[in-house]
Structure 1
Amino acid sequence: MARGQQKIQSQQKKAEKNAKLKKQAGSDQKKSAAKALIFTCTVCKSQMPDPKTYKQHFESKHPKSPLPVELESVVA
């Protein structure tokens, strides 16, 4: 029966170790960052996280191009 107790302790130790490794790894930053970039510039195809940033980008990088319809109501 001594081996049974050692087996249980070994399983608990392994579970704790796996939990620590999983916690350290966290979420994948590249995937979460890609999900946050939902607006795509119609001219240069760069991605922005929100419409305010998109409007600022468009006004500074593409001043000669007409403003897209979705950005006309956005307050920068």
Structure 2
Amino acid sequence: MARGHQKKLSQIRFQDKQEKLKKQQGHHVNDQKKAAQKALAYVCVVCRSQMPDPKTYKQHFQNKHPKFELPPELKDV
């Protein structure tokens, strides 16, 4: 077991390494979240769910909200 000065140096190195890893992961995760939000371009008018494309939106609307009339943006899809 390390004692004294060696222990302090080991703790500082470990802490620096953890901070570096955290910074790398933080930017990566945020970039992924932003890209995912941009990909979800369509929002359901009934439940406010987000969909990536009109085909998926139309399927969602027909399956989840059959009592409602299809929105005008989905009629030609």
Query: Percent identity at matched positions?
Result: 63
Q: What does the per-residue CA deviation read over 1:52-71, in whole Å, with 9 as the maximum and x for residues that have no partner? A: 00000000000000000000
Quote the Cα distance in structure 2 between the aligned partners of 1:57 and 1:64: 13
Match of 2:49 in 1: 46
Gaps of 5+ in 1: 1-20
From 31, 36, 40, the counterpart of 2:34:
31
| Unpaired stretches in structure 2, ≥5 consecutive residues | 1-22
Normalised to the residue count of structure 1, the TM-score between the two structures is 0.62
Taking CA–CA contacts closer than 8 Å with sequence separation of 6 or more, which of the two structures ends up with the larger relative contact order?
1
Rounded to whole Å, the distance in 1 between the matches of 2:65 and 2:57 is 11
- 1:61 is matched with which residue: 41, 64, 72? 64
Equivalenced residue count is: 52
Structure 1 residue runs of 4+, over 6 Å off?
none
